Amino acid sequence: MFQLLPGLLMSLSVYLWGVRLITLLSFSAWIGIVVAVDPQKAGTIGMILFFSSLFASMLGVLTLLLTSVYRRALGEVSALHHLGSAFRQAFLLALFSIGIVFFQKERILTWWDSALLFAAILLIEYSFRKIVSETKD
């Protein structure tokens, strides 16, 4: 599972506090970029900083949200067991959200672009589940 030190299993609360801290830092960075960077003058570097900090913030928030759902639905021990799944699903949802924001920035967002992006994310999740189920057998 997750190891903090050799022989010491990291608890769910320690993991969640770490995620909260990183999420707070990335959200602060995103707010700083939104306030301080002019998108017209920033160019490519400014856009990369904006999207990467937004992605990190969304990843943290979604990880906390999904872990909370797992914790309430399955209990503490099962939630600890499903941390990898919660992180993977949060990663894919954050990727989908960033894709939608990027499409809107480029003025190419339509409903079918969103549907195709969502279908691609679902296929990736299905592939991961298939790989994990095959390795367990």
Q: pLDDT digits over 48-68, tens only?
A: 999 999 999 999 999 999 999
* 6, pLDDT greater than 80: no
* 4, pLDDT greater than 50: no
User: Using CA atoms, how far apart are residues 90 and 58, in angstroms rounded to an integer?
Assistant: 8
Residue 85's CB is within 10 A of a number of other CB atoms, namely 16
- Give which of 123, 122, 103, 105 is closest to 113, Cα–Cα: 103
Q: pLDDT digits over 64-109, tens only?
A: 999 999 999 998 888 888 899 999 999 999 999 999 999 999 999 9
Domain interval for residue 24: 3-136
Residue with tokens 């399955």: 74
Choose between 13 and 62: higher pLDDT.
62
Q: Give the pLDDT band (50/70/90) at residue 12.
A: confident
Q: Are 77 and 9 in contact (CB under 8 A)?
A: no
- Number of folded domains in the chain? 1
The CA R_g of the chain, rounded to the nearest whole Å, is: 17
Q: Are 106 and 84 in contact (CB under 8 A)?
A: no
- pLDDT for the residue 82: 87
b/e per residue, 116-126, with b = 16+ CB within 10 A? ebeeebeeebe
Q: Are 116 and 84 in contact (CB under 8 A)?
A: no
Per the prediction, the chain carries an average pLDDT of: 90
Angle 39-74/12-36 helices, nearest 10 degrees?
Answer: 160
- pLDDT for the residue 5: 47
- pLDDT for the residue 9: 54
* 1, pLDDT greater than 50: no
